[in-house]
Amino acid sequence: MASSSYLFTSESVSEGHPDKICDRISDAILDGFLREDPYSRVAVETLATTNRVVLAGETRGPKTMDADRMEAIARECIKNIGYEQEGFHWQNAQVDCYVHEQSPEIAQGVDAAGNKDEGAGDQGIMFGFATNETEELMPAPILFAHKILRSLADARHNGDVPQLRPDAKSQVTLRYENGVPMGTTSIVLSTQHERGLTQDDVRKIVRPYVMDALPQGWMCPEDEFYVNPTGEFVIGGPDGDAGLTGRKIIVDTYGGAAPHGGGAFSGKDPTKVDRSAAYAARYLAKNVVAAGLADKCVIQLSYAIGVSKPLSIFVDLFGTGKVEEDKLAVVLNKVMNLSPRGIREALELNKPIFERTASYGHFGRQPDADGGFSWERTDLAEKILAELT
C-alpha cells in the first residue's frame, strides 16, 4: 500500500523552451488548416535548432496552406514568443518545409465510407485523470509548476521583467500528508536572462512571481529555493538546445501523477486519437470527480487504426469511489460516443483552438467561449449521476 505522507515533484517548461516552440509551431499550422477546412487531416512535426526550423509531416487540406504559408506561421510563432536573439531570430532563421500529402493507406483506414464510420487514425492507448486536490481537479505539483512559468511569461510580455528571456523551466516538490498537499519543500526555477545579471539578481526578480503563484504560506524554505543553479543562463532557446514536437508529454498531461499514453498531442488533427481520445478521457475523469463519485479517477481508452469504437474502457477510482468501477465504465460509454467522430462532435474539436494548448498544459485550463479547452467542462456530471440512479 502506498504511503499517505510523501513528497511528489512535477516540472514545467515555458513557451520559449525549444520543445515548446516546436509544439506551438505544429499546433499553429494545424489551426491554419482548420480555419480554412475544419476537416483537414494534419500531422506536422517541427524541429528547431540554432537559427533553423524544419517542418515535416503529412496533411490533407486546402492548397492555400502551402510551404510559404507554413513558413510564415512558424515565423509568427517565434516572434510572438519573443525570440530576437542572434542565435534564434524570428526574421533571420532559416525555415525548411518538408510537409507532404497524407498517405492514401492511412486515409482509407480513417475515412468514413458506406456503412463504415470514421476510424481511429492509429492504434494506441490514452489516459485521462482527475483529482479533487485542486479546484481545477488537477494534481497540485504540475498545476503550480505551470502557474509559476505562466506568471513570469505574462510579466515578460507586459514589459514588467525586461531582463528575462523566453526560455525557462520550473520544478515544484510538494509535501503530502494523508494524501493531501500541504506545502512546498523545494522549488527549482531556471530562466534565461540578459547578460550581466547575477544569480542573486535573477532570484530577486522571480521570487515575487513564484510566491504569488502558490497558495499563501506555501513558499519553500529559502535554502530549498534553487534559481539558475548552474549560474548564468544567457544562451537559451534552440540556440542552446535543439527542440522537437512532442517531447514534453508529462508536462502536457499530469506531471507524472497519472499514467499517460505513448502519443504526443501537438500538430495532430482530432481524428488522431492520441489527442482527441486523451481529451475525452480527461473530460470523463473530470466529470466523474466533479459529480462527487470519487476523489481521484483515471480512465484508459484503447483504439485500433481504422476501427471507430474503443476496444476497451478501464476505470480506476483508487479506492475512493462511491460506485463500482465496472458499472461506471458501462455508464461512461453510454453517456458519450467515444468513436473518433463522436469525440470530435461532442467536444467540438474541428476548430482552430489548438495553438493555445501548446504551453502550460492541455489540462486544468478554463474552457474558452470559442470552444477552446472544451474537455475541461463539467457539464456531463449530472448526466453520469442520472444514469447511475
Catalytic residue among 146, 156, 268, 296: 268
Binding residue per annotation — 268? yes
Which one from 8, 11, 15, 20 is the annotated catalytic residue?
Answer: 20
Instruction: Name the catalytic one among 248, 296, 356, 362.
Output: 248
167 is in an annotated binding site: yes
Residue 45 assigned to a binding site: yes
Cα separation, 128 vs 332, in Å, equals: 13
Is 168 annotated as ligand-binding?
yes
Q: Which one from 11, 15, 23, 45 is the annotated catalytic residue?
A: 45
> Is 17 one of the annotated active-site residues of the chain?
yes
Q: Is 146 one of the annotated binding-site residues?
A: no
Catalytic option among 15, 19, 355, 376:
19
CB atoms within 10 A of CB 301: 26
| Residue appearing with cell numbers 513564484 | 210
248 is catalytic: yes
Q: What is d(CA 11, CA 170) in angstroms, rounded to the nearest whole number? A: 6
> Quick check: is 204 catalytic?
no
363 catalytic? Reply is no
Place of cell 507554413: 70
Contact 248, 23 (CB under 8 A): yes
CA atoms within 13 A on the CB side of 195: 2
Q: Is position 322 annotated as part of the catalytic site?
A: no
Question: Which residue out of 107, 155, 242, 304 is catalytically annotated?
Answer: 242
Active site includes 79? no
- Give catalytic status of residue 272 as yes or no: yes
CB 317 within 8 A of CB 294: yes
**Would residue 27 show up in a list of annotated catalytic residues for this protein?**
no
318, exposed or middle or buried, with CB in 10 Å at 0-12, 13-18, 19+? middle
Q: Which is nearest to 42 in space by CA: 58, 55, 54, 31? A: 58
Instruction: Look up 318 and say whether it is catalytic.
Output: no
Contact 107, 305 (CB under 8 A): no
Active site residue 20: yes
194 labeled binding residue: no
177 among the known binding-site residues? no
241 in catalytic set: yes
Catalytic residue among 233, 265, 354, 373: 233
- Given 23, 27, 274, 355, which residue is catalytic? 274
User: Cβ(359)–Cβ(24) under 8 Å?
Assistant: yes
User: Is 290 known to sit in a ligand binding site?
Assistant: no
**Residue 93, SS3?**
coil
Q: Residues comprising the binding site for K(+)?
A: 45
Active site members: 17, 19-20, 45, 58, 169, 233, 241-242, 247-248, 268, 272, 274
Q: Which residues are annotated binding-site positions for L-methionine?
A: 58, 102, 241, 272
- Output the known binding site for Mg(2+): 19
Residue ranges for the binding site?
A: 17, 19, 45, 58, 102, 167-169, 241, 247-248, 264, 268, 272
